[in-house]
Amino acid sequence: VYLGQFYTKRYSTNDYTTLYDSTVINGNQIAVGDVTLTVTSNAAFPNVNRSKGATNVKIAEVVLQASSADNVRITGINFNIASSSYIQNMKLMDGTTQLGSTIGSPSSSSNNFTTDLVINASESKVLSVYADVLSSATEGDSVLVSVADSGITGYGVNSTKTLSDTPSSDTPLQKVTSKTASITIAQASETPASKIVLAGQTGVELSKIKFEPSNEDLTLKKITLSLVNASSGLWESGVNQNVSKLYLYDGTTLLGSANIASGDAIISGLNLSMPQDTAKTLTVKADISGQDTINPQSVAYVQVKGTSTTDMEVYSSQGQMTSGITLTSNAAGNKMLFAVTAPVVTNALSGTTGNPSSNEEIGRFTISNPGTREMTVTSTSFVVTVISNGATSTLGTISLYESNDLGTALATSSGTSTVGTVNLTSAFTISSSNAIAAGASRTYVLKADTASIKQVTSTFTGNVKLTVKLDGTKGYSASDTTDLWNDGKVTYSYSTTGAGATTKSALTASDTAEVFGPTLTY
């Protein structure tokens, strides 16, 4: 009976080793000597400070990289710890999964964690070590965790080849130094610039405050914000009535709010986590009081009141912090002008081609009233810049009109000016009634005699250019002792009602100071 056939082959010693010291993985014969695991400190987690008494904080991180030969099953990891007496409750974590059991009292060596962790071929795994830092640790004490020489046990999943001498020597991870929890609080660089805030507005951004915790994650539970008068001499009655409510935001998330009482807004009941060594910026917003309550034309700002445990509550793992809080300049926001209204000026002239004539329109500006009370414009001034490029340029009478009545000049700047490259300032006092209702606007037109603006000479080198600008500056000014605010070039007035009714006149503040019209070319 024929049962089959077989062949024999003679192997050399080298052939024998290759045949029996190998395995087939995915159809490929792999030498199991290639099954290795690389152990390195995770560079993404540097040496770090940890607060004395901090609980369950990361103290080390290791990267385990499997070779391409085989998946690796890790059955145990052994750590050495220099200055192990400073920590307790040591844990090994794979993300949020704990590996092995917690070691309550770590020692300098033989800190073993039993695991059943598989790392696929050519892939890596980051494992983290957590522990409590004893409150008895001295400032500056350090702990250094290492993966012990040959401290990782395991084998190839397919080949069953045992890992040997992994790692081949102690592999130091990160050094953790004991420090005291602290936090620095200051004005954030992106805090709003000085600006005019109007009566009745809500959710107005007044300030941004930066919190920078060090050595530990901290929690903010309470903060007191104060509305501060920029000059008690100018506004003796104070500015507390300017704001009805303050709000504290983390991005778009409202953390809390409080009404102003005696100048302070106490925002409590917070539970804001502030990660260690990460800047957290919070935004302060406000509801502005109505025109019958506000102290008009006063300048004030928001700041953090103080760091006492009455005014602020910041918690570390040891409880409420009574020290280690640094408040820089009270994290004061920039100064704001609280007003009932202020003019908003925009250019309304289009086109860039000049048309010389005895009464040419050279500028058109719209003045809007965004406030809640009527505003009366009483005067303004413009700067006319002419670049003659060698021509003889004569600019005649300049007049100001309202756009819906171009036949009657509101004011005229008389005289004739022969100009080269020069600025010519024309001031206008508007005698007729120019009241602008709340929410309304008026447009003003500037006309000039430009018939002789371009008289060509032998030195003429190009076009004549003319630009009109409504000049002025904006924002807080410590040197302006009249009202601590820079001057625009639109003078206006308004009146308030209510118990504190008053009239404010000869005002010049505007957030749209310096507005350019187009450059006209002749």
Residue 225 to residues 321, 333, 338, 499, Cα–Cα distance (Å): 19, 11, 18, 28
Q: What is the dihedral of CA 3, 4, 10, 16, to 10 degrees?
A: -90
Give the Cα separation of 351 and 518 in Å (integer).
Answer: 7
pLDDT per residue as tens digits for the range 179-234? 999 999 999 999 999 999 999 999 999 999 999 999 999 999 999 999 999 998 89
What are the residues whose beta carbons fall under 8 Å from the beta carbon of 54, sequence distance 6 or more? 132, 133, 181, 215, 216, 316, 317
Q: Beta-strand (E) ranges in 289-351?
A: 298-304, 312-316, 319-320, 325-327, 336-339, 344-347
Q: What is the pTM of this model?
A: 0.83
* Confidence at residue 460, expressed as pLDDT on a 0 to 100 scale: 84
Q: What percent of the chain stands above pLDDT 70?
A: 91
Residues of the chain scoring pLDDT < 50: 1, 6-21, 25, 30, 32, 421
Q: Is 430 helix (H, G, I), strand (E, B) or coil?
A: coil
- Please say whether the beta carbons of 109 and 83 come within 8 A: no
> Would you say how long the chain is, in residues?
522
pLDDT per residue as tens digits for the range 8-58? 444 444 443 344 345 554 555 545 456 899 999 999 999 999 998 899 999
Amino acid making up residue 487: D
Rounded to the nearest 5 percent, the helix, strand and coil shares of the chain are: 5, 50, 45
Which uninterrupted H or E stretch holds 16? helix 13-20
- Please say whether the beta carbons of 76 and 147 come within 8 A: no
- Please say whether the beta carbons of 66 and 121 come within 8 A: yes
Which uninterrupted H or E stretch holds 13? helix 13-20
pLDDT per residue as tens digits for the range 110-148? 999 999 999 999 999 999 999 999 988 989 999 999 999
Q: Which residues of 301-327 are buried (b: 16+ CB within 10 A; e: fewer)?
A: bbbbbebeeebbbbebbbeebeebbeb
* Confidence at residue 15, expressed as pLDDT on a 0 to 100 scale: 43
* Confidence at residue 29, expressed as pLDDT on a 0 to 100 scale: 52
* Confidence at residue 225, expressed as pLDDT on a 0 to 100 scale: 98
